[in-house]
Amino acid sequence: MKPKESLLIKWSLVISVYLFCFLLLVLPLINVFMEAFADGLLAYWNAISQDHTLSAFLLTLKVALIAVPLNTIIGILAAFLLSRFIFPGKNILLTLIESPFAVSPVIAGLIFVLIFGREGWMRPVLNFLDWEIIFNTPGLVIATIFITFPFVTKELLPLMQSQGNEEEEAAILLNASFFKVFTKIIIPNIKWGLLYGIVLCNARAMGEFGAVSVISGHIRGKTNTLPLEVEILYNEYNSVGAFATASLLVLLSILTLIIKSILERKINTSTLEPSPNLTQDAK
Amino acid sequence: MNFQFRPYSKLTFSLTIGLVLFYTSMIILIPILGLFIKTFEFGMSDLMNVFKEQRIQDALILSFGTSLIAAIINMILGFLFAWTLVRYKFPGKKIINSLIDLPFMLPTAVAGISLTSIYSNNGWIGSYFHNFGIQIAYTPIGIIIALVFVGFPFVVRSVQPVLEELPKELEESAYCLGATRFQTFYKIVLPYLIPSCLSGASMAFARGVGEYGSVVFISGNIPGKTEILPLLIITKLEQYEYTQATAIALLMLTLSFSIMLSLNFWQARRSRYLI
């Protein structure tokens, strides 16, 4: 026996979801494009083809290109370490890896200013090397690495835990080298989850604002990433410029969202493939 | 000491753990510890003095207050979304389900300027409220709206999986025993979902206190009125007031770490009781 679903309740709930979804999620997106095209196509094109925007775009790309691969490699290794081995302090390490999610981006920026800044404890070393980290590209890269570190591990860990290590064990018993096990078994098994983690990591790396804002010093054409450029243009009351630049970032996040939902389906189907030992834990 | 690395060799284990520990220490451990050590240099009395400043107290109340209100709204709104998405079939369900992740993906600065222009006095929604004499942007209401935008997906994503696994039998037997729909919901479903609601809401709260990008535009940053804690940190940094910036950061960090740790602890304890 099943309680009868009330249609009135159902549709009032569904309609309120539609309404909030539109007000809260869709409207801000539409608004970005409306404001960006407020003065027509030509103004939009002029705004995004500015030198400053272009150099901000290149810098954003550069920062992501350094931070994302580094975090991906260590992220895979960390997920491998946490899912395949037992060692004391494992939970502490996991908490440590996840901790950037709990730290406000502004504080992440502050931490690095305290280390490398004017009164920081790395100051003597930096002076000796005649190298600037704060208000310079390396600072942006370090802050971005800090913020985006947990993404890959967080996606891979549950996946690798549920897959178990039978295949790897068999390969090692057959005398395969670690490199071979890694490239022929581990990576192919986790490829969709890995891609998913990388996409999320990249979206955050390109869109990061708070941490980067503390460190960059807002030098136009030099240390300004796209989100910071949006801020500067907005504060200059250059609405079309700000929203046109923002529209590029919106396109990036919509693309990420699409890739994400495609990958989610792939991960679900790949973990559903029948294998008797799949759910056994790696203990 | 309990080590286990089979079927891998000890060398593989040592190399992996060495590399991961090195990277994690360089990027995360040393910087965060550095902040704590830096604070000890200042001494306790200096730190306490920082919180006597009126401007900082105002920012504290504003940040924690708005985050708390936003977290409560998020809990209700997130529950509504999760419930509707899990229980009903309706057109556009899949799209809405993926759109919910948008606030996680959208750069916060973009969300910030877009929300500001919608809710400012000549924006689409702001102008409507302006007719009634209510100003949204550049007031705490604006801050709350921005925090709802960034926070409600946390609640949806933590309630959704729990709701999906809620045994249908529970509700059916309650109904068979003569409970009304409201009683079933109130006495059976809600207690089952409250932990996940609360954990989602506390994640949203922690995020809200530290949120910068989406709030800084809509808040208007009037000292003492709409100046949030993260902005105050940046302001103090720009004035080279390192003690004050660090003290505020330490307070926020302690809070968000204790929320994270207690959530982990709580979930570990709960998973022992539940199947």
Q: Do A234 and B113 touch (CB under 8 A)?
A: yes
Give residue-wise pLDDT tens across range B229-248.
999 999 988 888 888 888 89
Q: What pLDDT does residue B229 have?
A: 92
ipTM above 0.95?
no
Residue of A nearest to B203 (CA): A102
Checking if the pLDDT of A275 tops 50, the result is no
* B29 shares contact with chain A (CB less than 8 Å): yes
Residues of A in contact with B17 (CB under 8 A): 81, 85, 87
CA torsion angle for B103, B104, B110, B112 (degrees, to 10)? Answer: 60
Q: What pLDDT does residue A65 have?
A: 95
Checking if the pLDDT of A281 tops 60, the result is no
Checking if the pLDDT of B173 tops 70, the result is yes
Q: Cα(A112)–Cα(B210) distance, rounded to whole angstroms? A: 17
The minimum CA-CA distance between B88 and chain A, rounded to whole Å, is 7
Residue of B nearest to A7 (CA): B88
Checking if the pLDDT of B136 tops 60, the result is yes
Give residue-wise pLDDT tens across range A160-178.
988 888 889 899 989 888 8
Judge whether A191 and A86 are in contact, CB under 8 Å.
no
The minimum CA-CA distance between A102 and chain B, rounded to whole Å, is 6
Delimit the domains of chain B by residue range: 1-42, 46-273
Delimit the domains of chain A by residue range: 25-272
Fold for domain B46-273?
MetI-like fold (1.10.3720)
Q: Cα(B224)–Cα(B140) distance, rounded to whole angstroms? A: 11
Q: Tell me the three state secondary structure of residue B4.
A: strand
The minimum CA-CA distance between B107 and chain A, rounded to whole Å, is 4
Q: Cα(A161)–Cα(B93) distance, rounded to whole angstroms? A: 31
State the residue for tokens 């830096």.
B38
Neighbours of A132 (CB within 10 A): 14
Amino acid identity at B194:
I
Residue A274: pLDDT band (50, 70, 90) is: very low
Q: Cα(A55)–Cα(A60) distance, rounded to whole angstroms? A: 9
Q: Do A28 and B111 touch (CB under 8 A)?
A: yes
Interface of B with A in 218-257 (CB under 8 A): 230-231, 233-234, 237, 240, 242, 245-246, 249, 252-253, 256-257
Q: What pLDDT does residue B180 have?
A: 84
Residues A98-109 have a mean pLDDT of 90
Query: Who wins on pLDDT, B137 or A78?
Result: A78
Q: What pLDDT does residue B68 have?
A: 93
Question: What CATH class is the domain A25-272?
Answer: mainly alpha
Q: Cα(B94)–Cα(A138) distance, rounded to whole angstroms? A: 41
Checking if the pLDDT of B175 tops 90, the result is no
Q: What pLDDT does residue A278 have?
A: 42
**CA count, 13 A, side-chain hemisphere, B91:** 0
Q: What percent of chain A has pLDDT over 90?
A: 55
Q: Do B96 and A21 touch (CB under 8 A)?
A: yes
Residues A29-37 have a mean pLDDT of 93
Residues of A in contact with B4 (CB under 8 A): 85-87
Interface of B with A in 34-73 (CB under 8 A): 34-35, 38
Q: What pLDDT does residue A283 have?
A: 35
**Residue among B110, B164, B239 with most chain A CBs within 10 A, to mutate:** B110
Cβ pairs bridging A and B (under 8 Å): 264
Residues A140-144 have a mean pLDDT of 94
Residues of B in contact with A173 (CB under 8 A): 7
CA torsion angle for A1, B86, A151, A231 (degrees, to 10)? Answer: -160
Give residue-wise pLDDT tens across range B55-98.
899 999 999 999 999 999 999 999 999 999 998 999 999 999 99
Residue of A nearest to B115 (CA): A28
* A36 shares contact with chain B (CB less than 8 Å): no
Q: What pLDDT does residue B272 have?
A: 58
Residue of B nearest to A245 (CA): B110
Checking if the pLDDT of B108 tops 70, the result is yes
* B118 shares contact with chain A (CB less than 8 Å): yes
The model carries a pTM of: 0.89
Sequential DSSP letters for A17-86: HHHHIIIIIIHHHHHHHHHHTTTHHHHHHHHHTSHHHHHHHHHHHHHHHHHHHHHHHHHHHHHHHHHH-B
Checking if the pLDDT of B186 tops 50, the result is yes
Q: Do B181 and A6 touch (CB under 8 A)?
A: yes
Checking if the pLDDT of B1 tops 70, the result is no
Q: What pLDDT does residue B273 have?
A: 54
